[in-house]
Structure 1
Amino acid sequence: MTEISRPQPGEYSAFHARYVALVPEDDLLAAMLTQEAVTTAALNAYAAAPDHIYAPGKWTVRQVLGHMTDVERVFGSRLLFIARGDPARLPGFEQDDWMRSADFGRYALPDLLAEFGAVRRSHLSLLRHLSPGDWTRRGVVGDQEFTVRALARMLLGHERAHLEVLCGRYGPVQPG
């Protein structure tokens, strides 16, 4: 396994710095593998109430997981474009617009969780096979430069950020 050094400021946007900061581990791929059990346990706690929200107008648990899966795909696609040396400026996206177009309420929570896991495992396979030079390759998303290694950490950091929200704001589901 190639050592994946930590990205430095300038390899990601100020907005995304919080995601990078949520991944202090040196062994990124091992951390991503370990996280699956943590995420599964946290979300399974809401199996009986997947439409629970912590405040009016906020996303349901099911929508949070759907969003996590969408962002996993977006960050992973960006990572792939940049790793392959594609010179195209990649687009940003507006999560609230995406949520209005998504219908995560029709999915069973276990199905959404399985889909998230499948997308993550796909990214892990890609990451395992990157060459040493791929990790520091740069590309542009919107008006900001990103490196592959920053995007890889952002995959895990975004997941952890939403788990913090679930654990901190959604709290335990109250019976009935």
Structure 2
Amino acid sequence: MYIDRVPADRPLVDVMREAPDALERLLSGLPGEGETFAYEPGKWTLREVLGHVIDAERLFSYRVLHIARGDRAELPGMDQDEWAAASNAGERSVADLLGEFRGLRAANAALFASFDEETLSRRGAASGFGFTVRALVHIIVGHELHHRGVLRDRYLT
């Protein structure tokens, strides 16, 4: 689902580096009350969606690093709802969350740009599934693109 969202006609690291600006443009002009909007009861607020994107990127990037460095131990999954409930993303401003995402994405793009073909082809397991480093990097990019679309379609219309 996430990998299919990644444009195939552009270098992946370029897509990664452009994401913070694109997300910021999407959310520019958002009124203050829009930050705490949830499109239906029981759904995350816009702030919580951004917090989830950050948490997931951190988790997926750890998986990337773990496998890229040759560690063969299988990694556990995550319960995104438990993580969201335990975060304080709903109490933080969108500007603060975007700043954190910008720094995280820049660090990840720098790391991923350093990988050679051998590293990108390394395999490992997480959440009961096998992955290559390349697939996990695509999942990171596609996950953010997915949630950017959710924000556009469900929160900003």
Give the superposition deviation at 1:25. 2.5
Give the superposition deviation at 1:171. 2.8
- 1:168 is aligned to 153
3-state secondary structure, aligned to 2:36:
coil
Matched to 2:43, the amino acid is: K
Matched to 1:28, the amino acid is: L
Give the superposition deviation at 1:66. 0.3
Give the superposition deviation at 1:24. 2.4
Query: Kindly tell me: are residues 68 and 45 of structure 1, through their superposed partners in 2, closer, same or farther at Cα, counting changes over 3 Å?
Result: farther
Q: TM-score, normalised by structure 2?
A: 0.93
- Structure 1 segments, 4+ long, off by >3 Å, are none
Q: From 9, 14, 17, give the equivalent of 1:33.
A: 17
- 1:96 is aligned to 81
- 2:72 is aligned to 87
Q: 1:13-52 alignment to 2 at 5 Å?
A: 18-26=1-9, 27-48=11-32, 49-52=34-37
**TM-align CA RMSD:** 1.2
User: How many angstroms apart in 2 are the aligned matches of 1:162 and 1:141?
Assistant: 21
Where does structure 2 lack aligned partners over 5 or more consecutive residues? Answer: none
Matched to 1:86, the amino acid is: D
Give the superposition deviation at 1:106. 2.1
* % identical equivalent positions: 39
Greater Cα shift, 163-172 or 63-72: 163-172
Give the structure with the larger helix fraction. 2
Q: 1:13-162 alignment to 2 at 5 Å?
A: 18-26=1-9, 27-48=11-32, 49-162=34-147
3-state secondary structure, aligned to 2:124:
strand
Give the superposition deviation at 1:47. 4.9
- 1:4 is aligned to none
Where does structure 1 lack aligned partners over 5 or more consecutive residues? Answer: 1-17
Aligned pairs, how many?
155
